[in-house]
Amino acid sequence: MSNKIKVSVIIPCYNVEKYVGQCLDSVRGQTMPDLEIICVNDGSTDSTLDVLNKYAKQDSRIRIISQDNAGLSAARNAGLKYASGEYIAFLDSDDFVASDYYGSMYLRAQDMDADLVIGNDIWYWDDCQMQIGVTHYRNFADKKSVITKHHDKIRILSACAVWNKLYKRTLITDNNLEFYEGKHLEDMPFTFSAVALSRKIVFQPFSFLFYRQRNSSIMNNEVNRVRNAMDMLDNFSRLYGELSTAPNIVNRDFYKAALLEMIMRESLIHYGMLARTRPAQMQFWNALRGFIASLPGDECFINPFYRQVAKTMQNSTLNKLLGIKYNSYKIEFKLLGILPLMKIRWFEPARIKWLLFGVLPIRSVEDAGYIKWLNY
């Protein structure tokens, strides 16, 4: 092993005695040995710390940091303070990686002099071996192996997970990037900023991380869905304000417009996820309306699709008359909760359709993607 640490792997740990061993085994078994493994014990109350100590005795590359429970963001920020590798990776303690994951990502970064490398991921539920999904970027990566232009970056901003990426450490340190603490969905603003600030982004579609979905996880807990929605809006609202003054952001108006579109898209999704709790759903809806009301005007929305949605939301008379029905691919606005008035469908392309008497389409606006409306 050389003296140079090529990759620092930061692993936040909280009550993961059942999973962290598999996670560490996968990192220790990497074909590239020049790693440091920073495990942040975030106040675990089970035997997680015992498992970490056991592995640290077996491998000098493992460093354990213990702190009182402060949440995932604080744990990641703590790990960043100790990271010394040329590149930094974040790995959740219940996930694991293929044996060549960090080696292939690092070589790709070196060959292309990249600030950010995006790998591939496979999702599965708990100990079930059923594969439920593969990376968000596969088709795009085949066409655009190197991303340098702003309008191409926009195509990858909507999937903001931190765990399938390799970040150049100077990208983080030179721009003082850190995770918003005390919030869920903390990786969204962090990765958005990293993508916007990167000179060059490359893909490594044949590097695989295995992402475990636990039934008890934050994202799958019904009790936390309200907080997830509100934190998402708070995180992005805060980031929107910071983009106005961030010193190293080029074409800041472009990224602010792109962020507004992300806020609208994510908000509609979270709104639908709150369908079982109507009071919480309306609380979130009103918070979103409040954010939109704080903007200078409709001109902030370059894409006419989201400009139309924002206008509808801000029409207080119309908003009181609307009943809203959600499913996995569309939202329907119903007059007095009965007569369909407007339908919003997403996927590619998203579409907003205005209806007369609940049947006749009188106007339709499509979201043909960021590139059509953001001409950079």
- pLDDT tens by residue, 316-371: 655 555 555 555 556 665 555 555 555 655 544 556 555 555 555 555 555 545 44
pTM for this entry: 0.84
Is it the case that residue 186 has pLDDT exceeding 50?
yes
Is it the case that residue 3 has pLDDT exceeding 90?
no
Output the pLDDT for position 361: 57
Is it the case that residue 235 has pLDDT exceeding 70?
yes
Output the pLDDT for position 276: 73
353 vs 35, residue with greater confidence: 35
Is it the case that residue 8 has pLDDT exceeding 50?
yes
Rounded Cα distance between 362 and 189, Å, is: 38
132 vs 257, residue with greater confidence: 257
Output the pLDDT for position 370: 46
Residue pair 183/235 in contact by the 8 Å Cβ criterion: yes
Q: How confident is the model at residue 28 (pLDDT cuts 50, 70, 90)?
A: very high
For strands 87-90 and 165-168, give the pairing: antiparallel
Amino acid (one-letter) located at 142: D
Residue count of the chain:
376
- pLDDT tens by residue, 51-87: 999 999 999 999 999 999 999 999 999 999 999 999 9
- pLDDT tens by residue, 299-329: 788 777 777 778 777 766 555 555 555 555 5
Is it the case that residue 230 has pLDDT exceeding 90?
yes
Output the pLDDT for position 333: 59
Is it the case that residue 34 has pLDDT exceeding 90?
yes
- Alpha helix stretches (DSSP H) within the chain: 20-28, 48-58, 72-82, 101-112, 138-143, 150-154, 169-174, 187-197, 225-243, 252-273, 278-293, 304-314, 316-321, 370-373
Q: Is the peptide bond preceding residue 205 cis, with omega within 30 degrees of 0?
A: no
Output the pLDDT for position 364: 57
Per the prediction, the chain carries an average pLDDT of 81
- Compute the average pLDDT of residues 124-140: 54
Question: How does DSSP assign 308-349, residue by residue?
Answer: HHHHHHH-HHHHHHEEEEE-SSEEEEEETTTEEEEEEE-SSS
151 vs 18, residue with greater confidence: 18
Is it the case that residue 226 has pLDDT exceeding 90?
no
Is it the case that residue 137 has pLDDT exceeding 70?
no
Domains of the chain (ranges; CATH) run: 7-220 (3.90.550.10), 234-373 (no CATH)
Q: How confident is the model at residue 148 (pLDDT cuts 50, 70, 90)?
A: confident
For strands 116-125 and 201-213, give the pairing: parallel
Is it the case that residue 20 has pLDDT exceeding 60?
yes
Residue pair 325/358 in contact by the 8 Å Cβ criterion: no
Of 24-38, 215-229, 330-344, give the lowest mean pLDDT range. Answer: 330-344
Range of 25-29, 238-242, 259-263, 302-306 with top mean pLDDT: 25-29
Residue owning tokens 């710390």: 49
Neighbours of 81 (CB within 10 A): 10
Q: How confident is the model at residue 123 (pLDDT cuts 50, 70, 90)?
A: confident
Neighbours of 219 (CB within 10 A): 12
Output the pLDDT for position 373: 45
Output the pLDDT for position 190: 95
Is it the case that residue 160 has pLDDT exceeding 90?
no
Output the pLDDT for position 134: 46
Output the pLDDT for position 251: 85
Output the pLDDT for position 375: 46
What is the 3 state secondary structure string of 161-220?
CCCCEEEEHHHHHHCCCCCCCCCCCCHHHHHHHHHHHCCCEEEEEEEEEEEEECCCCHHH
Is it the case that residue 293 has pLDDT exceeding 70?
yes
Amino acid (one-letter) located at 17: E
Q: How confident is the model at residue 208 (pLDDT cuts 50, 70, 90)?
A: confident
